[in-house]
Amino acid sequence: MRLIRSRARWRGLNLGRKRVSPVVQSQLLSRSQAEQYKSNNASRSAATEVARHLLERRTCLNSVTASNTIDPFNTLQIGEAGKSHYLISQFYSLFYPADCAYSPIRPLLRKEEALESALSDPAYLHAALVHIGKTLRDQTTLELSPSITYHLCKAITMINKRIGSQKVVTIDTIGAVTSLTGFELRNGSMASVKIHLDGLEALVKSVGGLQALVRSPFIFKYSCWVDFFSAIVLGTKPRFGLANPALLPLHPDLNNLEPYNLLTARYGARLSNLTGLPRMSQEMIEIYRIFRHLVVEKERAAGLQTMGITEADYQSLQSYCTQLIYRLIALIQFDTQSQNSLVFRLFGNAAAAHIFMFTYNLPPRSDTHVLMSTRIRATLEMIDVQVFQNAYPEMMLWVIMIGGLGSIGTEDQVWFIRLLAQFCYATGIAGTDEIALSLKEFVWSEFYQGPIFDEFWKEYVILRESLAASGEIGQDR
């Protein structure tokens, strides 16, 4: 095996930070999301800075005419306060620069659906404008904090007034609460996430559960995603079950998956032996096989449909992912005090990050990928990477790579690139093509080398070659 190389190369490695004691492990996992987002602005590349100035120039120009063209007949019922019309004119900035940034697969949350849904209700629109304000504030030098506060207060006031009136809860009101919960997830305020999530759960139950939201597809999908992501962030079980599970096909019949190969059998045995948890090890192997089928078969097929995925195929793909995410969350949240058992969390977070980026194709500015990358790094800092690399070489290479792809534009990007370069040097892997070959049997997607990651891979190649030439890969310079 090329991935299993001499331990001598690992002896001098400096993985960026020392492993931490179990006493502070929970602190690592709960590192403030807001702190991570703050680091984004400090670590953007020159190319990103150019894009920021272009966006800022474009948004300033648009603000001149926005108030005259967005709502000339005052049909939106929110007025112009809080730069409302200007923010509406910048609605697509959340999805900038492209709707399909990570893969050609149809996104879970499409910008046209998001705009149409938000414009249907004033409370919902106020909540959506909070997101736009945050995006523009983070990506430009525009001072939008007062506008964010204004729309946040207006949305909460409208929602509370509706709930207090004891009238029938509308789907649009649920959409507004979902949007506010999503904002707090981006903002890193976990206490506020829980408060809004409690309210969302109560409202959804009052209308008969998730199934009642199906008639509003965007709000249904958004509510499901917020539930998944909140569960991962808070370390709790999802609030909602599968919508009408009796009508969903079990995904998939395991007999239709690829048969066990040597790698799968080897990983199953090692997981059981090293963790001492045969049932949990078998669960992870089953999840891995289902996940591999998603990447190798279903995603590949969806990405090749140049005329666009059919509605039936799209619904099948989403159903498949939904059921898989529930199992991944349980894997991520497996409670353990054992270092060896952290392998479940590592794989679960990396697989979920892949789905959020490539299958759901969530916008880069949704900040989802930053949080998942942060959690992967936190777990990597708890373990002895060399020990895990010796036991699960392909999986560890893949986990580090996924963490790095999710970290683009943040300080963590440098940390992951260095760790990936060190790992590949120690295992004798040279360029990016060899990474693909090394991961083909485990799991590999062409999406991993998409245009959005060009700078990441260029920096990796430069560092990998530099460290190899110096022969001092583990030495800080």
- Give the pLDDT score at 252: 54
Give the up-direction half-sphere exposure of residue 15: CA atoms within 13 A in the CB hemisphere.
Answer: 23
Give the up-direction half-sphere exposure of residue 285: CA atoms within 13 A in the CB hemisphere.
Answer: 22
Mark out the alpha helices in 15-144 (DSSP H runs). Answer: 25-29, 33-42, 46-69, 84-89, 111-118, 122-139
Number of Cβ within 10 Å of residue 349's Cβ equals: 28
- Give the pLDDT score at 222: 94
Domain boundaries, the chain: 8-30+251-470, 44-246
Number of Cβ within 10 Å of residue 286's Cβ equals: 14
DSSP 355: I
- Give the pLDDT score at 5: 45
pLDDT in tens, the chain (477 residues): 444 443 444 544 444 444 444 444 444 444 434 344 344 444 334 334 434 443 444 444 344 444 445 554 455 677 778 888 889 888 887 776 666 789 888 889 888 899 899 998 999 999 999 999 998 898 888 888 999 999 999 999 999 999 887 677 899 999 999 999 999 999 888 999 999 999 999 999 999 898 899 889 999 999 999 999 999 999 999 999 765 554 455 555 666 777 788 999 999 999 999 999 999 999 999 999 999 999 998 888 887 765 667 888 888 888 889 889 999 999 999 988 899 999 999 999 999 999 999 999 998 878 889 999 999 999 999 999 999 999 999 999 999 999 999 999 899 999 999 999 999 998 999 889 999 999 999 999 999 999 999 999 999 999 988 887 876 544 333
* 111-121: pLDDT as tens digits: 889 989 999 89
Q: Contacts from 412-417 at CB under 8 Å and sequence distance 24+? A: 412/36, 412/39, 412/373, 412/374, 412/377, 413/43, 413/456, 413/459, 414/43, 415/16, 415/377, 416/373, 416/377, 417/456, 417/459, 417/460, 417/463
Over its C-alpha atoms, the chain yields an Rg (Å, rounded) of 23
- Give the pLDDT score at 334: 93
User: Exposed/middle/buried for 335, CB within 10 Å: 0-12, 13-18, 19+?
Assistant: exposed
* 82-131: pLDDT as tens digits: 888 889 888 887 776 666 789 888 889 888 899 899 998 999 999 999 99
- Give the pLDDT score at 254: 66
- Backbone torsions φ then ψ of 397, nearest 5 degrees: -60, -45
Number of Cβ within 10 Å of residue 9's Cβ equals: 16
What pTM value is reported for the model? 0.83
